[in-house]
């Protein structure tokens, strides 16, 4: 992963079909890898967009009886009041920032880079004007739908509420579906249109 220290393999990449003038960096969920997401993005590819799907390092995860699996940081519990692995979150954030910096060095302006993920969320004052597409299946047994709804409402208090789109998918468990991937493609097309000389 571009000079990281996460002990993870290089990201799965779906190159742009022509000159890359935009990028999507997409983080997988706990226990997964970037390969499946790269395959999903290959199916909705936009010609001027490069898709980068990094792999989390393998580490013991407290939530899963300390079994080793791909994880961006340790997870102690799923309840809203569970402790968080602040050092691990900071380390993962720094490594993702390094991926963004690498794409900027490759000539892609920061405003043409989207950071996304499965089972992820973040907002702070530095990115209060960003646009967010949050998708959630209403049959998710791992992350209850109410958590997704509450996250969307919390995000509206942190960033411009007009920039938040929350989409739900009937009967969808903790996974993605074709309808959702079409919504993701439309979001990317709207946020990263072709540059006039493309």
Query: How far apart, in whole angstroms, are the C-alpha atoms of residue 90 and residue 60?
Result: 17
Residue keyed to tokens 């709207």: 190
Which phi and psi angles does 180 have, rounded to 5°?
A: -65, -40
Ordered DSSP codes for 99-156: HHHHHHHTT--GGGEEEEESS-----GGGTT--EEEEEETT-SSS-HHHHHHHHHHHH
Q: Are strands 12-14 and 49-53 parallel, antiparallel or unpaired?
A: antiparallel
Q: Calculate the CA 193 to chain-centre distance.
A: 19
Active site residue 140: yes
Q: Which of 131, 168, 174, 183 is catalytic?
A: 174
Taking the C-alpha atoms of residue 127 and residue 145, their distance in angstroms, rounded to an integer, is 25
Check 35, 62, 119, 122 and give the catalytic one. Answer: 119
Whether 55 is catalytic = no
| Residue 174 is a catalytic residue | yes
Which residues belong to the active site?
Answer: 119, 140, 174
């Amino acid at each position: 992963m571009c000079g990281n220290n996460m002990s993870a393999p290089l990201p799965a990449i779906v190159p742009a079909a022509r000159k890359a003038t935009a990028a999507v960096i997409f983080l997988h969920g706990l226990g997964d890898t970037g390969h499946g997401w790269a395959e999903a993005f290959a199916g909705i590819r936009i010609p001027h967009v490069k898709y980068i799907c990094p792999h989390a390092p393998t580490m013991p995860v407290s939530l899963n009886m300390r079994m080793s699996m791909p994880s961006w940081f340790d997870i102690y519990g799923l309840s809203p009041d569970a402790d968080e692995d602040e050092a691990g979150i900071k380390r993962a954030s720094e490594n993702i920032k390094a991926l963004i910096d690498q794409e900027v060095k490759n000539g892609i302006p920061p405003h043409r880079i989207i950071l996304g993920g499965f089972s992820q969320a973040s907002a702070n004052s530095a990115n209060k004007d960003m646009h967010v597409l949050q998708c959630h299946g209403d049959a998710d047994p791992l992350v209850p739908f109410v958590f997704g709804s509450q996250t969307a409402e919390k995000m509206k208090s942190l960033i411009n509420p007009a920039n938040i789109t929350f989409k739900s998918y009937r009967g969808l468990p903790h996974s993605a579906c074709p309808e959702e991937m079409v919504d993701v493609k439309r979001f990317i097309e709207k946020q990263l249109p072709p540059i006039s000389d493309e």
